Structure 1
Amino acid sequence: MSDTASTLPQTPTAAARRPVPWSLHRSPRARRIALRTLSLAVFLGAWWLVAELNVWSDLFVPDPTAVFDRLIDGETTHNGARGLSGYYLHEHLWHSLWRILRGVGWAIVFGVPLGLLLATVTPFRVIFEPYVTFVRALPPLAYFSLLIIWFGIEDASKVWLLFLAAFPPITLSVLHGVRGIPRRQLDGALALGANRWQVTRFVVLPSVLPELFTGIRLAIGFAWTTIVAAETVDGIPGIGGLAWETKKFQQTDVAVLCIVLIGLSAIVLDQLVRALEQRVVPWRGKS
């Protein structure tokens, strides 16, 4: 009786026949994309509605179509003029990005070894850590005038400003990364016969990498927030300089366009760093 029953085809239960909810068919990545697309659509719809209802004048809230028109103008030649302020938008973006890459690049070159020294040499940390904290607390415009006096109005002063904005988070991230290494892990490497360089190479640096990438992402964010200040003087071409120039003629639509481009560029650069982090530090996991 039981053998016969086992050979009969099983009738699907009501639970098995019930259709799987749409959300369960979607991967986490697809759900994130759908939610972000929906939030963007809601934001754009609310923006368009506010502009259409004339809740505020165009000087305060420009129409989305006006911002889009400035985007087209920025990539075309009109009335004999190239783009906006004599340069195309991609030229403005590239000059700003190149300044940021140099500033953050030099911050990595000097910040990583300084962070290691601060973490491993106590007298060095006692002397120099307050200076790093001091620079981190300063607003960019507080010392930008000095940088212009010292290095002129060309790119050197701008790169120095971006370097000083990116340098402290990288240095402090390395410092705290080394401090977070369990002592028994270092003692174990020494007990196995590793010298100081081998401990640094095979224990300290891999352990510090997650914190270092966090510091780099923070540094890039600080650099993007500093780019307008860096390009207030002779900042054309540059997306920050273009945003600064809009105050002369109250070009709110161009200012909004610059804000959107800066934000999108920062997101893209941050995603590239995260992708590199997932390759270099796979044990950290994905968020």
Structure 2
Amino acid sequence: CLLQSKWIDWDIKIYYELNNVQAQACTTTLNEELGQIEYIFSDKTGTLIQNIMTFNKCSIREKLYDYVTDEAGNEIQDTEKLKAIEFDEKEKDDYFQWYNQILLDAIKNNDKDKFVTEDFRTLYLAYRELNESEYREWSEKMNQANTSMEKREEKVKDSYEQIENHLKLNGATAIEDKLQDGVPQCIERLARAGIKIWVLTGDKIGQALRYALENKLKMKFLERGTMCKAVVCCRVTLLQKAQVVELVMQNEKKITLAIGGDGANDVSMIQKAHIGVGISGQE
């Protein structure tokens, strides 16, 4: 088993030349199970796609632009960033998912549909005008919240909510994120081998999974899902990814593999599966 693990480490086909990173087998006890895998659970970012964001076009006040210039034909200059509100994974499901639909409805329909059908990642732009005194007052409150020794998270959240309201939607950008090299061929080979592929992603296509994983429905969800050669679960939270893997493992009694890309978002899913694979990428 130790020698087999070394062969994984030495395999030139899974060496990442761009970052000079080779494969690293972290266990010697799972090698035999690699040939028995029947289910693969994969994230999208950093696994199927490159996670390299490239600006393609934008829609501003219902007009499409490929590249933004001012009236004189000069490129728009960058502005100074005074503060950034950090993205909070815990707040995402409670806030951003319902707010996302409001933004969608506010964008001109043919623009947002065009972005989606062309497989672009859509980022919405909103703004709010503050005078200098308003900004300084909020900035001071934000600094006090960040350095507070008591109820820090609560105070930071309050300061976020103070600034994240009364926003005006300005438009949307279409960001291109291409497939990794060899992904279509890899998926085709896995399918020919009879391996079922489930893609668990946070991207939006409704919120059906939240209800499908409730006790009364999860067995029906499992029954329908296992009949398919490939399954895509969208708008999936970190917990739901792990729950899907656990559901299949406990009821199908098949060997499973979970694979995640950039960041630590897929750790819980990887830990639930029989075999976990992490891909070294941009993060």
TM-score when scaled to structure 2? 0.22
1 or 2, which has the higher strand percentage?
Answer: 2
Instruction: Select the structure with the greater relative contact order (CA < 8 A; seq sep ≥ 6).
Output: 2
Taking structure 1 as the reference length, what is the TM-score of the superposition?
A: 0.22
Larger helix percent: 1
